[in-house]
Structure 1
Amino acid sequence: MSKARHLIVPLLLAAGLAACDQNAATAENAAATDGAEATESGNTAGMATAEADIAAANQAAAPAATEAAPAKTQAATIAALPLKRGYYVESDTPCGQASNATTTLLRRNGIGGARDFCEFKKIEQTGPNTYRVTEACGDLQDNAPPETSTSVYSLTGDTAFTAKSEHGWERSARYCAQSSMPPDWRGNDISDVTG
């Protein structure tokens, strides 16, 4: 029995030491894991703080950026230009001296002169008195299909406008009552296109 005791004690001692070493290794691993978690937690907290700082800086800069950039306004599509329908004569020509070259007729669906007509395809209000008009324009004496382009109309009340085409031409005209026009225009019945 004493031999067995001599064997058991060293075995127990070895087993105990092995258990102690395992516990020590486990403790070291746990400490390392806790340290890594603490570092990761510190990094996460640091990142969260950095992200919060960036968000605060962006929020502070946002009003300045908004003020610096011009506001984009939504263009409202409307059915017709808010102008009186009828004859419009170039601004520098008296109504009583109008000619084919200086006169246009504003109709329900477009505007045209003696040789051309522009049908309004889309009218968008872009400002208090400003309108972007997509129009299909064609020569009345030519069989070529109309060409679509965009013009910007700036209105002065409901009786005058300046139109600027994307192609570079510009025209300013004002409303002339039919009764103030030369005799050739006074007798025309335009009610079917202006009413």
Structure 2
Amino acid sequence: MSQTRFIIMPLILATGLAACGQPADTAENKNAATAENSTVTEDVAAPATGNAADATTATKVATTTSVSAPETPETPPARVQAAVVTVLPLKRGYYVASDTPCGQASNATTTLLRREGIGGARDFCEFKKIEQTGPNTFRVTEACGDLQENAPPETSVTTYTLKGDTAFTSKSASGWEHSARYCTQSSMPPDWRANDISDVTR
């Protein structure tokens, strides 16, 4: 009888230990599975309907890596091709500063537009190259010199904006700006009316 008791006790002890270890192992596995599931579905809201199909869709969304569309470089604006022309489409003759009446013109406010260039009493700018850059804008490469000095002319670029064929605004690369309009020779002061400019304006 005593031997039977000794045999039964170890069996009961082993059974008890096994029973105690099983729930702990199961709980540990459950915690690991829960942590793994929470990582996968971290950014996905639970489906409202609770359907299996919705849950599958949510899982696919959660495990799909989003790929951004490749950025494409901006296309630079097309450059307008400047057309080279032979002359400025302006009426040739005297041009007086826009804020000065034709009858009150002076050497300081008057220029003479010729076929090959434009100038006043002291200076002259020869047109070396004329490019049309817009419906009424022209980029002109000029060689300008002082008529009373022996210094060689200086080359610069001036933009002319025309108003019809009888007025313009010129702006140099340095920012200097001048506006003038055509004045008939008969409307000018006596000193200009007597000049014969037909040879340079034809």
TM-score band w.r.t. shorter chain: 0.5 to 0.7
Matched residues in 2 for 1:135 and 1:184: separation?
A: 28
Could you list the runs of 4 or more consecutive aligned residues of structure 1 that deviate by over 4 angstroms after TM superposition?
A: none
SS at match of 1:145: coil
Matches within 5 A, 1:81-100: 81-100=88-107
Query: Residues 143-167 of structure 1, C-alpha deviation per residue, up to 9 Å, x if partnerless?
Result: 0000000000000000000000112
The one-letter code of the counterpart of 1:145 is: P
Following superposition, the deviation at residue 121 of structure 1 comes to 0.1
Query: Residues 123-153 of structure 1, C-alpha deviation per residue, up to 9 Å, x if partnerless?
Result: 0000000000000000000000000000000
Residue equivalent to 2:141: 134
Residue equivalent to 1:193: 200
Residue equivalent to 1:107: 114
Unpaired stretches in structure 2, ≥5 consecutive residues: 1-69
Following superposition, the deviation at residue 190 of structure 1 comes to 0.3
Between Structure 1 and Structure 2, which shows a larger proportion of helix residues?
A: 1
SS at match of 1:128: coil
Matched residues in 2 for 1:167 and 1:179: separation?
A: 35
Matched residues in 1 for 2:178 and 2:77: separation?
A: 28
- Paired residue total: 134
Unpaired stretches in structure 1, ≥5 consecutive residues: 1-56
Matched residues in 2 for 1:161 and 1:109: separation?
A: 17
Matched residues in 1 for 2:174 and 2:188: separation?
A: 30
Matches within 5 A, 1:69-80: 69-80=76-87
Matched residues in 2 for 1:182 and 1:168: separation?
A: 31
With structure 1 as the length reference, what TM-score do the two structures score?
A: 0.66
Larger radius of gyration: 2
SS at match of 1:192: helix
Matches within 5 A, 1:167-178: 167-178=174-185
Matched residues in 1 for 2:101 and 2:85: separation?
A: 31
> Superposition RMSD on alpha carbons, in Å?
1.5
Query: Residues 44-67 of structure 1, C-alpha deviation per residue, up to 9 Å, x if partnerless?
Result: xxxxxxxxxxxxx78xx58xx34x
Following superposition, the deviation at residue 76 of structure 1 comes to 0.3
The one-letter code of the counterpart of 1:193 is: V
The one-letter code of the counterpart of 1:130 is: T
With structure 2 as the length reference, what TM-score do the two structures score?
A: 0.64
Residue equivalent to 1:38: none
Identify the match of residue 144 of structure 1 among 145, 151, 157: 151
Query: Residues 57-104 of structure 1, C-alpha deviation per residue, up to 9 Å, x if partnerless?
Result: 78xx58xx34xx332110000000000000000000000000000000
The one-letter code of the counterpart of 2:110 is: T
Matches within 5 A, 1:4-153: 65-66=74-75, 69-153=76-160
Percent identical residues = 79
